[in-house]
Amino acid sequence: MLRIDNLSKRYPNGTLALDGIDLEVAPGEIVGVVGGSGCGKSTLLRLIAGLEDPSAGGVSLNGTPVTAPREEIGFVFQEPRLMPWLSIRANAAFGIRHLPKAEQQARAQEALARVGLADFANAWPRELSGGMAQRAALARALVGRPSVLLLDEPFSALDALTRYDLQEHLLELWSYDRPTMVLVTHDIEEALMLSDRVVVMQPRPGRVLTVATPPLPRPRERTDPLFEDWKHRLLAELSRAFRHRPQGEEAFPAAAI
Amino acid sequence: MGWGSASNTALGLLVPLVLALGWELAVAQGWGNGRLLPPPSRILATLWTLAKSGELTTHVLATLGRVALGFLFGVLAGTILGALTGYLTWARRLLDPMLQALRSIPSIAWVPLFILWFGIFETSKVILIAVGVFFPIYLALSGAILGVDRKLVEVGRIFRLSGVELVWRVLLPATLPSYVLALRAGLGLGWMFVVAAEFMGASEGLGFLLTDGQMTGQPQTILASIVAFAVLGKLTDGLLASLSRPLLRWQDSFKPGA
């Protein structure tokens, strides 16, 4: 169980980026976090990963507090962030350096095969397209078989077709080991395609406005009227979050809709 | 060597060869006397005489030894201090202002002091060369470490790299291109400063050959020495470049068209 408990983050310049976030994510659950820019959704993810320290509250995974990056928690950034001097295979194996060489190679090759890059194991990152590089980054994050996978707008820099393709692919990858996933995105469709629950955040300071559990059957279709309906509902929530601007006004209670 | 690089080499040699042959012809035809600028044949003959007598080897080895030692010490000091000031903020605050101030002193200005301190023999020469080599290496490495993509360092943090692992697996490869370039620039300065060092008083070395040619009024000796400098500089730079090339194959760099 991934547990986020009254989590707040104030930056040294005084900005309150996150204010009292509470959230529990069950093992194997996929939670999407949506919100406009500046709502603290990336900060939330970085705090869960242990990349930043909270000002108050905390994050725990299966009862132990997360205070620094951990092996069980994988992270996929907005950009692939591959090491340009390593082959794709070596990039995929970057996080499993403690394993014997042969096992590293085998695990990296397996991870690359799962993301459809088996034939590019010896290529350099510069030789890959944006979508392929992001697949390699997924392989790198998954190769250590993390129980939690955090994704920070992982497909936002890609064109629509590649994005749809990778969204489906992510679900397929998830089905192997079923890690808990927290996906930060500004794309409501993406959140609806992938998530069991969608958290809508409001900005300045970042708070949870709504947690929605769309009852959409899987596999989901963008053209499904129910999908469309949920998209509109969440959009309405988002614009409500966006209208909430001034700092220090009444907090919206986190409510299920 | 493929056709492309062979023809590129040939193209690069075209202009100097035409100029050399032109001057050779001009002196042979009596259009110029070649006393102050001897034709290539006379320079080559001087080189050949020096080589046959073993003198050339003595001078080349003396100069090469000084450059090698000075380069080694300069690279060592530049690498250690560059890495320290790049990696540790307190070291940068402590050392960088002083080193930047020292950098603004023309290295040749140290010569009188070095001679007073270390005498006229090898030590002062090697130190002068090391000082020349030091600064480009120091500057480039320190700057390259500060310029490493923060995002890649963060990937290292996600995968829990220790300090040493971060240096070895991220900082070192990320700074390698600038470092190699700095090594080549440093080596070039090493060759420049060895001449100044050998002007300080030497009984052997290519720099000595230069002054010897001047004193005895033999421009062909001066030019023979210059040719030897050019060949050695080009060879050692080529060696550094080819040693580093396999390490930098990953670079996504601009490759000019034909």
In a domain, A172, yes or no: yes
Span A45-72, pLDDT tens digits:
999 999 999 999 999 999 899 999 999 9
Low-confidence ranges of chain B (pLDDT < 50): 1, 258
Question: CA of A140: which chain B residue's CA is closest?
Answer: B159
What does the longest C-alpha to C-alpha distance in chain A come to? Answer: 58
Contact A84 B250 (CB under 8 A): yes
* Position with higher pLDDT, A247 vs B176: B176
Considering only CB atoms, B250 lies closest to which of A77, A85, A95, namely A85
pLDDT band at A251 (very low <50, low <70, confident <90, very high): very low
Q: Which of A41, A108, A48 is closest to A78 using CA atoms?
A: A41
Ranking A62-71, A148-157, A214-223 by mean pLDDT, the lowest is A214-223
Closest chain A CA to residue B160 = A69
According to the model, what pLDDT value does residue A219 have? 85
Euclidean distance between CA atoms B154 and B162, whole angstroms: 12
Chain A: residue whose CA lies nearest to B175: A85
- The predicted structure's pLDDT at residue A257: 47
Domain with A6, as residue range(s), is 2-187
What pLDDT does residue B3 have? 63
Residue B51 token pair: 């080589």
Nearest to A49 among B158, B165, B252 (CB): B158
Q: Does B155 touch chain A (CB under 8 A)?
A: yes
Closest B-chain CA to A73: B158
pLDDT (tens digit, 9 = 90+) per residue, B74-92?
A: 999 999 999 999 999 999 9
For residue B97, the surrounding DSSP H or E stretch is helix B89-103
- The pLDDT tens digits of the residues spanning A125-140 come to 999 999 899 999 999 9
Residue A162 in any domain: the answer is yes
Chain-chain contact of A85 with B155 (C-beta, under 8 angstroms)? no
Write the residue in A69, A125, A126 that is nearest to B158 by C-beta.
A69
Task: Tell me if A227 is assigned to some domain.
Answer: no
Strands A197-202 and A207-212 come out as antiparallel
Q: To the nearest whole angstrom, how far is the Cα of A207 from the nearest Cα of chain B?
A: 25
Q: What is the pLDDT of residues A178-188, one digit of tens each?
A: 999 999 998 99
Residue A197: inside a domain: no
Does B249 contact A at CB distance below 8 Å?
A: yes
Q: Is residue A228 part of a domain?
A: no
Domain B39-246's class?
A: mainly alpha
* Number of structural domains chain A divides into: 1
Q: Which residue of A has its CA nearest to B148?
A: A83
Distance CA B120, CA A201 (A): 75
CA distance linking residue B233 with residue B235, whole number of Å: 6
Phi/psi of residue B208, each to 5°?
-60, -40
List the CATH number of the domain containing A114: 3.40.50.300
Residue A93 makes CB contacts below 8 A (sequence gap 6+) with A104, A105, A107, A108, A143
* Residue A17, H or E segment: strand A16-25
Of A69, A85, A124, the CB nearest to B160: A69
Closest CA to A115 of A79, A166, A72: A166
- Write the DSSP symbol of residue B168: I
A181 bridge partner residues = A30, A149
The DSSP element (H or E) to which A24 belongs, if any, is strand A16-25
Q: What is the pLDDT of residue A256?
A: 43
Residue with structure tokens 């290292």? Answer: B156
**Is A257 part of a structural domain of the chain?**
no
Q: Does B215 touch chain A (CB under 8 A)?
A: no
Q: Where are the domains of chain B?
A: 39-246
Q: Give residue-wise pLDDT tens across range B187-203.
A: 999 999 999 999 888 88
Cα A160 to its chain centre, rounded Å, is 18
Say what the pLDDT of residue A254 is: 46
Quick one: pLDDT at residue B121?
A: 87
Total CB pairs under 8 A between chain A and B: 50
Q: Which of B157, B173, B176 sits opposite A69 (nearest CB)?
A: B157
Query: C-alpha B244: how far from its chain's center?
Result: 15
Is A213 inside any structural domain?
A: no
Q: Does B253 touch chain A (CB under 8 A)?
A: no
Q: Are A2 and A59 in contact (CB under 8 A)?
A: yes
CB within 8 Å: B151 and A49: no
Q: Name the pLDDT band for A252 (thresholds 50, 70, 90).
A: very low
Q: With contacts defined as CB-CB under 8 Å, which chain B residues touch A93? A: none
